[in-house]
Amino acid sequence: MANAFYELALNQEIQNRLRDEIDQEYIKHAGNLTYANIKEMNYLDKVFKEVLRKYSAGLFFTRRTMSSYTFNGTKVSIPKGQIILIPWQDMHQDPNIYPEPDVFDPERFNEEAVRSRHPMVYLPFGGGPRNCIGSRFAVYQTKLGLIKILRNYKVEPCEKTQIPYAIDDKHFLLTPKDGIYLRIIKINRD
Ligand code: HEM
């Protein structure tokens, strides 16, 4: 959520568009934010996915191979029983897959853009039978938090906002070195 608010503070047009979708959702369902209703919110979904692309929580996850494998047309092979690292953060930052990877652009996750990429180049929750067991909970909880706060507050950069923010390289998980500071302004809805 902190990374989402950081990007929304730096990208006011995206924040306004997302708040429009949230306001429409409140009107349509009288503020009844069920799992199914939140799932229908397409722009929120694109913003959420782009946050997890740009800010992947870790560097890599691992697998042990069940059989040997040779890459097509090469002599490069991986033996059975080998532990391999899957560098999901590097994949999410690869300019050949996501052009200008430092740019925050939720449209990378519109249907056409998603169809044009291999499904395994976006792995915020890992993949296969050992992927993240908490992903649905994480998605719902984070989206709910974003909805509740953006409905009532506007976020902006302030004097203490670092752009881009420094990453603490002592942590395995992505952690800002000096925290994330933003200005939060109440929206008056009277
Ligand atoms: C945005 C939040 C989260 C992210 C980005 C995330 C990401 C991941 C990733 C990348 C993996 C490794 C998957 C793989 O090896 O294929 C993982 C595994 C796991 N996650 Fe999450 N996770 C999140 C939230 C949660 C939550 C909320 C829970 C529990 C309530 C959770 C529980 C687990 C567990 C138990 C595993 C190990 C699964 C296994 O080895 O079978 N995660 N997560």
Cβ(172)–Cβ(24) under 8 Å? no
Residue in 48, 64, 132, 136 to alter for ligand 1 test, most ligand atoms within 8 A of Cβ: 132
pLDDT for res 71: 93
On whether 132 is known to bind a ligand per the annotation, the reply is yes
**Can you give the pLDDT at residue 32?**
87
CB-CB neighbours of 90 under 10 Å? 13
CA of 131 to the centre of ligand 1 (A): 7
What pLDDT score does 183 carry?
98
Q: Where are the domains of the chain?
A: 1-186
End-to-end C-alpha distance for the chain, whole angstroms: 27
ipTM of the complex: 0.97
Q: How far apart are CA 131 and CA 105, in angstroms?
A: 25
pTM: 0.94
Domain 1-186 homologous superfamily, CATH: Cytochrome P450 (1.10.630.10)
C-alpha–C-alpha distance, residues 186 and 154, integer Å: 6
Residues with CB under 6 A from ligand 1: 52, 57, 61, 124-127, 130-134, 137-138
What does the pLDDT read at residue 160? 97
Report, as ranges of residue numbers, the positions in the chain whose pLDDT lies below 70: none
Scan for tokens 């002592």, then name that residue. Answer: 170
